[in-house]
Amino acid sequence: MDKHIYLSSPHMGGEEMKYIQEAFDTNWVAPLGKNVEMFEKEMCSYIGRPYAVALSSGTAAIHLGLMCLGVKRDDIVFCSSFTFSGSCNPIAYIGAKPVFIDSDYKSFNMSPEALRKAYEKYPEPAAIVVVNLYGQPAEYDEIKAIAKEHNTPILEDSAESLGASYKGIQTGNFGDISIFSFNGNKIITTSGGGMLMCNDEATYKKIMFWATQAREPFPWYQHNEIGYNYRMSNICAGIGRGQLKVLSDRVAQKRKIHSIYLECFKDNPFIEIEREYEGAEPNFWLTFATLTKNCKATFMDIIQTLAAENVESRPAWKPMHLQPVFADCDFITQLDDKQKKETGYESVCEDIFSRGVCLPSDTKMTEEEVRAVAKIVNKAIYDKQSQR
């Protein structure tokens, strides 16, 4: 293709500079200021939760969120295995131990069945990190019921799912604490940043305190606890305010891209596009596809063919329990021995990883460009299929 096609790149709405200019005009370039305050308020009204804290990243939000849920050194924390490392690195920052949980084929997110199994082995985890991967909400009815039975708090990692909903409720409402990321490739960006959402003032105040170096209310600098420098800058928050104005357009564009892919691949029996399941309304941040088991093309064939045509795509997240850095962590698979034999895999997320590819889902793509990408993928698949 003449133009380079990105996987998912920043897409400004037009009003971002107005808020940045305002910060410059009032000299509130740093540290905090009106944009931060307003961005938090605007997120609260969009999500429908009373408290929000703007932070330097989604990872920072998970770190402070876990601390606030009471996670301590050597605690067990259940976490989706099929995710990006930002979901679980903060568990390690605290010195707690992740136990990774498999996905199911319905949502590709945490399997309620595997979660139940995990409780048989680890009856008292300190928290559960549940991820809404690629903008697909996890199965909260089941997951929340299981967590409630065992009195375990949930940290909802909505880094990728801003604008998605489950049973009519925005993601970001399902965790005792929920987080978002505004990293450069997300559905809206602040160039880098995150947001933590919660329901009670005590949590909000504690997060704010830790995020600003745990400074005690004394006239001089007094510290009784270790703190962090995790707040978002007023300039980044200005970008976020401008971006929030176009969030609903971006969700509509991502969903449109997904629907075009669905149409383009409907007659190709070797590739399946991830769909919404009943009750879920994903934002389809990335359109995720899996190649069927009888497809001769591998995900790397697709990625390399697209790259040769100037198009960026990406493998699925490699499950965390397969990462060398987490090699000593336990993992709970959803599959029994019979299912392992049938699928040829030890777990659902390994199976999905081995066949998955994230297709370019950049909201700046035209409809023709999405169709052109699909055509390259279809051709790559059929070319391989016709080889002996």
- If the CB atoms of residues 137 and 194 are measured against ligand PLP, the closer one turns out to be 194
The least CB distance from residue 323 to ligand PLP, in Å, is 14
CB 196 within 8 Å of CB 172: no
> Which residues have C-beta within 8 Å of that of residue 10, sequence separation ≥ 6?
184, 185, 189, 191
The least CB distance from residue 84 to ligand PLP, in Å, is 4
- Write b or e for each residue in 271-291: b if 16 or more Cβ atoms lie within 10 A of its Cβ, otherwise e: bbbbebeeebbbbbbbbbbbb
- If the CB atoms of residues 61 and 271 are measured against ligand PLP, the closer one turns out to be 61
**Site for ligand PLP, rule CB under 6 A:** 57-59, 83-84, 86-87, 131, 157, 159-160, 181, 183, 194
- If the CB atoms of residues 113 and 160 are measured against ligand PLP, the closer one turns out to be 160
Q: Measured on CA atoms in the order 277, 85, 343, 335, is the torsion positive or negative? A: negative
- If the CB atoms of residues 132 and 234 are measured against ligand PLP, the closer one turns out to be 132
The least CB distance from residue 157 to ligand PLP, in Å, is 5
- If the CB atoms of residues 115 and 358 are measured against ligand PLP, the closer one turns out to be 358
- If the CB atoms of residues 236 and 264 are measured against ligand PLP, the closer one turns out to be 236
Can you tell me whether residue 112 is helix, strand or coil?
A: helix
Q: Kindly report the length of the chain.
A: 388
Can you tell me whether residue 119 is helix, strand or coil?
A: helix
> Which residues have C-beta within 8 Å of that of residue 339, sequence separation ≥ 6?
none
Cα–Cα dist 122/110, whole Å: 16
229: which strand partners? 212
The least CB distance from residue 186 to ligand PLP, in Å, is 7
The least CB distance from residue 94 to ligand PLP, in Å, is 16
The least CB distance from residue 353 to ligand PLP, in Å, is 15
